Amino acid sequence: IICFMVISVKYASRCRKWITILCFAAYLVCFCIFSRYYLQDYNKEISQSFYESFDEALKYTTNHSGDAQKIYVTPDVNGGYLLVLYFTGYSPLDFANTVEYYDKNAEFRQALSFGQYIFQIPEEIKTDASYIVPINDVAMFDENYFKITKFKNYASIIPSKK
């Protein structure tokens, strides 16, 4: 497409100079509109797809939950266990020793849990566990029992110390 645009502008510039100026002005306006959308609005729209702020919620929850406490991680994050391994620097040996899979015989195994992390939200919310959930799911937690810390797209839910 760009090649044909250049050829047409080049051909038009031989006929009339004002056509060339008009084309470049139109390209400049379109480029400015695209740049504004791409750098501002599009970033907001696409951030959920790239799990923006999941790492912040994970680090916050891990640092404030204690080692023995279970942390339930939303299953809405594709390959969530991989992100947890990466962002926490979890030991591969500890992972290998504690991992439980949904299906051990599956071609592409998905971790159900390892260490203190469980990659599903239980049907009955436990008040002695921490949670990492999308910001839209915060309403299912009672603020009387949990401290809720919101990040851009995810929230850290930690039991209150009341």
- Tell me the mean pLDDT in the region 82-103: 95
pLDDT digits (tens, 9 = 90+) for 140-159: 999 999 999 999 999 999 99
φ, ψ dihedrals at 49, nearest 5°: -70, -25
Confidence of residue 77 (pLDDT cuts 50, 70, 90): very high
Higher pLDDT, 149 or 7: 149
CA distance 44 to 42: 5
pLDDT for residue 67: 57
Do residues 10 and 20 lie in contact, with contact meaning Cβ atoms separated by under 8 Å? no
Name the band, by pLDDT with cuts 50, 70 and 90, for residue 85.
very high
Mean pLDDT for the stretch of residues 26-42: 89
Sequence-ordered alpha helix ranges (H) in 16-142: 17-36, 42-46, 54-65, 80-88, 92-98
Element containing residue 120 per DSSP (H, E): none
Q: What is the pLDDT of residues 110-142, one digit of tens each?
A: 999 999 999 999 999 988 899 999 999 999 999
Lookup: tokens for 98: 């504690």
Q: How confident is the model at residue 162 (pLDDT cuts 50, 70, 90)?
A: low
pLDDT band at 18 (very low <50, low <70, confident <90, very high): confident
